[in-house]
């Protein structure tokens, strides 16, 4: 399939497949992060006043004909409903009643043969204490509550799918509240075939669609044995829902601060308005052959940070971080551009449950459609489809190297069609603005593991003198803070903990510590940090604007240094409005000492040089301590003018067997025994001219025969002076009769 056809299918009127509840179970569904509680009079059978918005039954035969046409494309998303553009305002539509202590608004929506409903609020602004629910007329299930904590900066809110031919929008707030809500519904999606019967349809059409939900039958569920090594990375991948459409996939992605900022990577060509998107996590079958998965973990909306066609990249910051209970991973990445040995894709083809595909060969760098891409010639196992776009491509080290741009890969019956795919290259995206967000500490690294599972705890500060010393760290990352101070922030929440956030920034405005929003009411939270000397700002925020207090429940906070000195604290009563700002400074402890690293008594902790430095000269050297206790070490112990490091011990007497002409320090000398040389060889006498071992008459005669010789003399030259003279005769006679 070409990129153009894929893009067409991804943006055509084909709605998302979302798994619904089993019938008959009166339970809460969480389509977004809800705030708990139940609708008004949920556990009673009392009638309630409802104005119903009626829609005509859809022409199921016509829709079936259209669906039969799209079913020819095994990679087309499965349509379940039709969108209606509406304008329902709580001020002009629905009914308001007083029920007990509450003002309650309700608006019903129904249609004959409808199987489900979902909605988009273009305006969602409610006061503190207000709660929105959506429940089906059979009172089997509900969504919510949604409160001011669900408000987005852009003002909208997407409400997920709820089964039933009729559903009710219900809002309530305590009577007497001065503020009124703004609730405007701009879109309603009318379902016309139920996902509860999806498995039956698949069984009937096994030869057409295959056994695995909506996507082609050659796709592989991520929880099949093939996906065993990818159970961490799979949790980073999410399905993107744009209104009523399964548009793309994407992935949570880590940053060098390892702080869980909810950055989300997808493709530029997927973009519409990320503010209106819903991001579904963990939508996967728990088995290898299953075709349905949970849709209870989703986040509504996000802000677009980077969009560039040069690598078909889009980076979004979600409106909130996935709760820890979802076990979402922030995937690692490789921006080096190194060619991977192989590649793995994890994605939601055609809005289906999560799938996985494998390329055993190395992708190669190429370009298409104005983008720099990694090119996959064909997948060995699995494929991608529309809805997979934007999904991450991982290398052999389980790090993201790209996001899906397009291609022609698809199932051909139950097997791979052998066609290509291509992914925008992450190393190109890095230079298109992504690095600004994913390397906030300016580390310069081009390779990062995931968080929290892939975070390398062996890297950190290895200096025991630093206040941020990490005893388990094996590799120093340059983060050590010398002469720093440990500060402690203690926060007691009020009864609306989700509205409280705070941060501490340095003089440049960079955040060095932050926290919130919180879950526990009237709960104490403690955070500590090692900060370098300097000036900082503590900012405490309340999203509702009434500080840390409501209806007599008051929170508190204090910031102290390691000596217990209070650096900042909450005003009395806690009503600081939307924001409280406290400036404080941490002075560097004055440590006097030698601050010159070349001195023997250098003190690395010294902040004030007191002119006490001492230095080594000549043969002397420093002891090596850097805490101020170092000293000069004598390097010429014998004061002979030769440094100890240059001294050579040895025999200094010429004629000795072990004489060393280079010796500077005297050592024992060794001599040869009488009659032997240094090698132990026997010595002969010079007077024994004939060499028979005895000085005798024949030796005298030989000497006399050569008497008077003055050059080139024979062995008769006993004294070795070059001539045979009377001296030689006297020496021979003195030794006459001796044995040599």
Task: Give the burial class of 45: count Cβ atoms within 10 A of its Cβ; 0-12 exposed, 13-18 middle, 19 or more buried.
Answer: exposed
Q: What are phi and psi of 183, to 5 degrees?
A: -130, 110
Q: State how beta strands 500-505 and 534-542 pair.
A: antiparallel
303: its two tokens: 């802000």
Q: What is the DSSP string of 92-150?
A: TSSEEEEETTEEEEEEEEEETT--EEEEEEEEEE--TT-EEEEEETTSSEEEEEE-GGG
| Active-site amino acid positions | 269, 312, 389
CA-to-CA dists, residue 464 to 468, 482, 527, 586, angstroms: 8, 10, 21, 21
Closest to 724 in 3D by CA, of 734, 705, 735, 710: 710
Task: Give the Cα separation of 679 and 270 in Å (integer).
Answer: 92
Task: Give the burial class of 337: count Cβ atoms within 10 A of its Cβ; 0-12 exposed, 13-18 middle, 19 or more buried.
Answer: middle
Q: Could you tell me which residues are beta bridge partners of residue 239?
A: 249, 280
- Note whether 250 and 266 are within 8 A (CB): yes
Q: Residues with Cβ < 8 Å from 520, sequence gap 6 or more?
A: 493, 497
Task: Give the Cα separation of 25 and 138 in Å (integer).
Answer: 10
Beta strands in 428-571 (DSSP E): 447-448, 459-460, 475-476, 485-492, 500-505, 511-515, 524-531, 534-542, 549-550, 553-554, 556-560, 566-569
Q: What are phi and psi of 731, to 5 degrees?
A: -65, -40
If phi over 0 gives left and psi between -120 and 50 gives alpha, with beta otherwise, what is residue 728? alpha
Q: At which residue do the structure tokens 């509450």 appear? A: 102
Angle between helices 726-734 and 697-705 (to 10 degrees): 170
Closest to 53 in 3D by CA, of 172, 156, 159, 188: 188
Q: At which residue do the structure tokens 């190429």 appear? A: 366
51: its two tokens: 């104005």
First to last CA, the chain: 110
575: its two tokens: 């009503």
CA quadruple 357, 390, 434, 426: dihedral sign: positive
Q: What is the DSSP string of 195-239?
A: GGGHHHHHHHTHHHH-SSTTS-TT-EETTSGGGGGGTTGGGGEEE
- Note whether 85 and 139 are within 8 A (CB): no
Q: Residues with Cβ < 8 Å from 559, sequence gap 6 or more?
A: 487, 488, 489, 490, 538, 566, 567, 568, 569, 582, 584
Cβ of 331: how many Cβ atoms within 10 Å?
29
Give the SS3 label for residue 365.
strand
Q: Could you tell me which residues are beta bridge partners of residue 316?
A: 264, 304
Angle ∠(424,427,433) on CA atoms, nearest 5: 90
């Amino acid at each position: 399939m070409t990129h153009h056809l894929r893009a067409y299918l991804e943006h055509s009127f084909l709605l998302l497949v979302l798994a619904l509840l089993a019938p008959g179970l009166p339970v809460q569904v969480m389509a977004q992060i809800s705030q708990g509680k139940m609708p008004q009079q949920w556990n009673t059978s009392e009638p309630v006043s409802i104005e119903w918005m009626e829609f005509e039954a859809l022409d199921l035969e016509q829709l079936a004909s259209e669906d039969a046409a799209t079913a020819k494309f095994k990679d087309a998303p499965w349509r379940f409903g039709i969108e209606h553009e509406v304008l329902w305002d709580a001020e002009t539509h629905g009914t308001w009643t007083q029920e007990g202590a509450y003002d309650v608004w309700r608006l019903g929506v129904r249609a004959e043969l409808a199987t489900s409903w979902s909605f988009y609020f273009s305006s969602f602004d409610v006061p503190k204490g207000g709660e929105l629910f959506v429940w089906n007329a059979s009172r089997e299930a509900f969504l919510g509550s949604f409160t001011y904590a669900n408000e987005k900066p852009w003002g909208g809110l997407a409400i997920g799918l709820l089964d039933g031919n009729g559903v009710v929008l219900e809002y309530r707030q305590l009577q007497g509240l001065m503020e009124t809500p703004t609730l405007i519904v701009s879109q309603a999606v009318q379902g016309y075939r139920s996902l509860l019967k999806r498995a039956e349809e698949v069984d009937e059409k096994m030869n057409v669609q295959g056994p695995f939900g909506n996507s082609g039958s050659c796709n592989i569920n991520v929880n099949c044995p093939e996906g065993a090594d990818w159970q961490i990375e799979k949790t980073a991948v999410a399905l993107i829902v744009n209104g009523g459409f399964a548009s793309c996939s994407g992935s949570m992605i880590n940053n060098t601060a390892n702080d869980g900022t909810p950055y989300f990577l997808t493709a530029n060509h997927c973009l519409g308005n990320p503010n209106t998107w819903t991001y579904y996590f963990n939508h996967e079958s728990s088995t290898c052959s299953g075709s349905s998965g949970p849709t209870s973990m989703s986040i509504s909306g996000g802000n677009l940070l980077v969009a560039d066609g040069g690598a078909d990249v889009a980076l979004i910051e979600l409106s909130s971080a996935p709760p820890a209970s979802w076990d979402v991973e922030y995937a690692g990445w490789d921006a080096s551009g190194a060619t991977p040995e192989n590649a793995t894709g994890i994605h939601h083809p055609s809005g289906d449950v999560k799938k996985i595909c494998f390329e055993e060969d190395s992708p190669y760098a190429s370009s298409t459609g104005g983008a720099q891409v990694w090119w996959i010639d064909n997948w060995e196992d699995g494929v991608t489809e529309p809805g997979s776009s934007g999904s991450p491509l991982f290398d052999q080290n389980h790090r993201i190297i790209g996001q899906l741009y397009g291609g022609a890969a698809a199932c051909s019956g139950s097997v791979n069609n052998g066609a290509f795919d291509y992914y925008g290259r992450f190393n190109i995206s890095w230079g298109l603005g992504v690095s600004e967000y994913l390397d906030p500490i300016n580390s310069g690294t081009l390779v990062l593991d995931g968080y929290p599972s892939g975070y390398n705890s062996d890297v950190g500060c290895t200096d025991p003198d630093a206040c941020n010393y990490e005893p388990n760290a094996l590799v120093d990352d340059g983060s050590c803070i010398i002469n720093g101070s440990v500060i402690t922030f203690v926060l007691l929440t009020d009864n609306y903990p989700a509205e409280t956030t705070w941060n501490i920034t340095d003089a440049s405005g960079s955040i060095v510590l932050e926290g919130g929003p919180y879950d526990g009411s009237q709960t104490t939270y403690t955070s500590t940090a090692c900060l370098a000397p300097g000036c900082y700002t503590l900012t405490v925020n309340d999203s509702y604007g009434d500080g840390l207090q409501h209806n007599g429940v008051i929170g508190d906070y204090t910031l102290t240094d390691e000596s217990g000195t209070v650096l900042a604290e909450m005003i009395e009563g806690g009503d600081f409005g939307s924001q409280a700002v406290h400036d404080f400074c941490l002075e560097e402890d004055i440590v006097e000492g030698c601050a010159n690293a070349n001195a023997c008594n250098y003190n690395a902790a010294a902040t004030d040089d007191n002119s006490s430095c001492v230095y080594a000269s000549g043969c002397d050297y420093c002891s090596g301590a850097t805490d101020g206790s170092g000293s000069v070490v004598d390097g010429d112990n014998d004061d002979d003018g030769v440094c100890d490091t240059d001294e050579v011990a040895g025999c200094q007497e010429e004629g000795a067997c072990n004489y060393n002409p280079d010796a500077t320090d005297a050592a024992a000398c060794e001599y040869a025994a009488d009659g032997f040389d240094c090698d132990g060889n026997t010595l002969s006498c010079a007077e024994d001219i004939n060499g028979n071992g005895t000085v005798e008459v024949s030796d005298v005669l030989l000497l006399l025969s050569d008497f008077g010789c003055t050059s080139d003399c024979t062995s008769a030259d006993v004294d070795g002076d070059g001539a045979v003279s009377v001296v030689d005769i006297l020496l021979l006679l003195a030794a006459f009769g001796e044995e040599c």
